[in-house]
Structure 1
Amino acid sequence: MEIKVLVDIKTRLGEGATWDPIRQRLFWVDIVDKRLFSCDEFGGNLRAWHAPQKIGSFALRDQHDGAILALEDGLYTLDFNTGDVEFLISPEPDKPFNRLNDGRVDRQGRYVFGSMNRMEEDTTAALYRLNTDLSLETLETGINTSNSICWSPDGSKFYYADTWAGEIWSYDYAMQGLPTNKQVFCQIDTSDGGSADGSTVDSEGFVWNAKVYSGQLIRYAPNGQVDRVIEMPVKKITTATFGGKNLDVLYVTSMSEPPLPRFPGDNQYRGSVFAIYGLGIQGVEDTRFKG
């Protein structure tokens, strides 16, 4: 195994690593600097698009050359060719103390995303799903900070976390209807100050979670047991995804500054995007939003 710095651009709050198998490019955001980035599998040919607000997450579109952006106050469309950003829908027009946060596209091509309490102090947030006809559903409420959204390879299991709850949950996830049978998938040891941030799954059905503030990338077996722990070069890692032409490179984002004053700084590699080679494991293709 080898960990390399793929892109060193000191993202203030790097998040949302997503591999596009069509373009063969990696996408991620800097939430605080309001930019969506893209590069090739080796970190070259860097591109960036600017948004008018913080970008919590995004969904690459299947039928359009662009993305859906989860900005602070709602969903917007981004045109990759023109850079134009247009308002689509707001799930929480009456909650200015929230902003939109983590999100990914499910195996059916629907965009599942959540909100968060801005100060991470109250359970005012929720989880939503944007369907392909652009209708919106509420999937879960009573959340502080939405995170760790991902699915099993066949899409039948859904994983989700409230960052400060100290656990990741699993749900039964069907083609239609709301997620059901919520269970604790795994407990997060928060004694070192770390907590569950972004997750992805590999082709064997194992869940990889970026444990932010502790710098540990943890692989969980389908039964929730810890299978492997990788110590990253920085503490504030945020999310991961598999990519590269063989889906065998694990890309990991990080932040260069803490979002809240109680967290310390990091070393010179802070804010970088990392690539992990030689794991001997393949991922599952990220799905595009089909709306």
Structure 2
Amino acid sequence: MVEVRTVLAAQSKLGEGVLWDADREVVWFVDIKRHRLWHYDPATGSNSYAEAPDQIGWAIPAEGGLLLCGLKDGLYTFDPEAKRFEKLMAVPGEPAGNRLNDACTDPWGRVWFGSMDDSEGTASGRFYVFDRGTIRPAGPDGITITNGPAVNAEGDRIYFTDTTAQQIFVADLSSSGVGGARPFADTGALFPDAYPDGPVVDAEGHVWTGLYLGGKVARFTPDGELDATIDIPARDVTKMAFGGRDLRTGYATSATKNMEPSDMTDYPDAGGLFAFEAPVAGFAQAKVKLG
């Protein structure tokens, strides 16, 4: 049994992209639909949000004190001191109806991210890699809702999530590129009414995923077997990250955009940021190399 607490009642419509910023010792996460980039300081409880120019899927610390962010129309930098967004580049070939959704770094400072149809009805999404100022397609395509990717500590495995199909895939990774994706976990067979959302890998190489419509996070072994679940006091759990100085605090984001008033009665803390003492640590995430 793990005690889960609400640490920030953010009332997010679509909370996502949670991660730990080791330099600043704060948690970053986004509310995609309300265009908000949140920060939360666990030492003091202080928090605030910056207004993004459009829907924002993720924000990752980069070299030079900036954050690299994925917005609807491309990549932006964010200066936390000035609270200023600046567009860096568009994603070549992306349909106008798509937006960026989730991302991670690998040990070489590359950013792996996915796009998706903003209306969640067309399989127009795919995965990309941002590598020191260039973007190229990398990983699966033809996906309606992409989530992840997530990379392990050694940098030799990367996980891609096809949320609508209730599937997580894995591929071999190296400094030179990515291999072909193969099945890792069929979450639909285990949680038929829930959908795998944002994944993260822990220090032992196990994969954690939020379960949208599932009310929990689930942990899978490196072989794709279900290892454990932790109940979260929100129906639509979106993403998890490891934080704190020892990287043993689990943080999870959640959403309310598909909930009715009766659902909110059952889950009054939905849309919040949650925390719990994790049974295993995460590992330090590499900063983005911008150039």
TM-score after normalising by structure 2: 0.92
Q: Deviations over 1:246-287 (max 9, x none)?
A: 11110001113228x9x965621111100012x331111122
Moved more, 134-143 or 214-223: 134-143
Q: Residue 158 in 1 paired to residue 158 in 2?
A: yes
Which runs of 5 or more residues in structure 2 are unaligned? Answer: none
Aligned residues: 285
Measure, in 2, the Cα distance between the counterparts of 1:113 and 1:50. Answer: 21
Deviation at 1:207, TM superposition (A): 0.5
* Matched residue, 1:244: 244
Q: Deviations over 1:32-55 (max 9, x none)?
A: 111111112256121321111010
CA contact (8 A) 2:114 2:148 kept: no
Q: 1:237 to 1:43 in 2, by over 3 A?
A: farther
Q: Deviations over 1:19-38 (max 9, x none)?
A: 01111111101111111111
CA contact (8 A) 1:207 1:219 kept: yes
Q: Deviations over 1:82-102 (max 9, x none)?
A: 222222111145511211111
Moved more, 46-55 or 239-248: 46-55
Measure, in 2, the Cα distance between the counterparts of 1:116 and 1:187. Answer: 20
Question: What secondary structure is seen at the aligned counterpart in 1 of 2:181?
Answer: strand
Question: What secondary structure is seen at the aligned counterpart in 1 of 2:188?
Answer: coil
Q: 1:42 to 1:123 in 2, by over 3 A?
A: same
Q: Deviations over 1:222-266 (max 9, x none)?
A: 00000001122111110000111111110001113228x9x9656
Q: Which amino acid aligns with 1:97?
A: G
* Matched residue, 1:19: 20
* Matched residue, 1:47: 48
* Matched residue, 1:71: 71
Within-5 A mapping of 1:214-229: 214-229=214-229
* Matched residue, 1:100: 100
Q: Which amino acid aligns with 1:254?
A: S
CA contact (8 A) 1:14 1:253 kept: yes
RMSD of aligned Cα (Å)? 1.9
Deviation at 1:6, TM superposition (A): 1.0
* Matched residue, 2:31: 30
Q: Which amino acid aligns with 2:30?
A: V
Which runs of 5 or more residues in structure 1 are unaligned? Answer: none
Within-5 A mapping of 1:1-291: 1-42=2-43, 44-63=45-64, 65-92=65-92, 95-132=95-132, 134-140=133-139, 141-177=141-177, 179-189=178-188, 192-258=192-258, 267-277=267-277, 279-291=278-290
CA contact (8 A) 2:104 2:148 kept: no
Q: Which amino acid aligns with 2:136?
A: E
Measure, in 1, the Cα distance between the counterparts of 2:68 and 2:114. Answer: 14
Measure, in 1, the Cα distance between the counterparts of 2:216 and 2:203. Answer: 21
Q: Deviations over 1:97-123 (max 9, x none)?
A: 211111111121111111001222221
CA contact (8 A) 1:162 1:168 kept: yes
Deviation at 1:66, TM superposition (A): 2.0
Q: 1:84 to 1:107 in 2, by over 3 A?
A: same
Q: Which amino acid aligns with 1:60?
A: P
Fraction of identical pairs, as percent: 29
